Structure 1
Amino acid sequence: MKKSLFYLSVFGALIMFQSCNKNGCTNPEADNYNPDAKSEDFSCAYTGNVFFWCNPQVSDSLNSLGHSILRFEVGGDIVDSTATVSFASVAGDCGGVGVMTIPQSFTGNNEWKYKWRVKGDNFVTLYEGFVTIPGGDCAEVELGYP
């Protein structure tokens, strides 16, 4: 009887220990935050945005150089495109009119660094650089004269 009680106690303690050490995402800013997680397992997922913009004079200049369409590449993939004549803003605002806002999802860190390119007609690279996109926020890329 004492042996059975001992094994039952050990089994109960193991179950309690396992439930106390639940792994998961412990960052409340993450898309997949788990309030029951007690231990971080680096599975946190985030969504952030990068937005590209230029003023009307730059848009006109790109158009006059023969670039009627702009293609946006983030992380090695062309993710969107727009007509150059509709790509202009007096002040860039994430999600605003005349800007290109591109959402990106990533796991692990709460920010992620991406290589980006903007390509014109014939897929000519007009601009390129790196941007760090914070989870839950927007990163800005303003395009100047080519």
Structure 2
Amino acid sequence: MNRIYIVLVVVLALASCKQEGCRDMDAVNFDPAVDEDDGSCLFEGKVVFWYDEDVTFPLLADGAEVLTFYVDDAVIGTHIASEFWESAPGCGEEGSLSMTKYLGDEPYATCLYEVIDQDGFIRWTGEFGFSKGECVSFELEE
């Protein structure tokens, strides 16, 4: 009789336990089996830089040949100045200048960017925001 009682108590205890974890579908550690969010969500954000044909001609006329893209002082890629996009490419699309940033437990982050040509001339500089689970399309304009 004691064994039945112990088994019953253990089964009831396990059945009543709520599983905690991350319930935010934009998080990299989202768990659909979790009953209760415990604040442990971790996020990533993505950005893709691009420019169109209207920007290309002034770049070339000014002697730009190769552009190096930086985010928070880290190189994310280089691009031939004469190559442009008709419309915004997707994050991670072949030939795109995109990156993924780990945001930790923050859903948003602001970063600095620079685009510098082969002669060290800064063509663009500024800041933009990463958002959890999103691809931010960042068009560089003249």
TM-score normalized by the length of structure 2: 0.73
Name the counterpart of 1:75: 72
SS in 2 for 1:90: coil
Name the counterpart of 1:114: 111
Shift of residue 127 of structure 1? 0.9
1:105 pairs with 2:92: no
1:134 pairs with 2:131: yes
Q: Is contact 2:76–2:97 with CA below 8 Å preserved after alignment?
A: no
Shift of residue 59 of structure 1? 1.3
SS in 2 for 1:133: strand
CA distance in 1, matches of 2:60, 2:39: 45
Q: Is contact 2:49–2:97 with CA below 8 Å preserved after alignment?
A: yes
5 Å-filtered alignment, 1:53-72, equals 53-72=50-69
CA distance in 1, matches of 2:44, 2:90: 14
Number of aligned residue pairs = 140
Structure having the higher helix fraction is 1
Cα distance per residue 1:6-44 (max 9 Å; x no partner): xx9xxx7xx86xx54x55322122121123445545432
Identity across the alignment (%): 19
1:89 pairs with 2:75: no
Change (3 A) 1:79 1:42: farther
Change (3 A) 1:71 1:26: same
Name the counterpart of 1:25: 22
- Structure 1: which 5+ runs fail to align? 1-7
Shift of residue 81 of structure 1? 1.0
Cα distance per residue 1:62-105 (max 9 Å; x no partner): 1221221111111221111111112x122223246764222223
CA distance in 2, matches of 1:41, 1:80: 37
Change (3 A) 1:63 1:27: same
Q: Is contact 2:113–2:125 with CA below 8 Å preserved after alignment?
A: yes
Instruction: Read off the aligned partner of 2:87 and give its amino acid letter.
Output: A
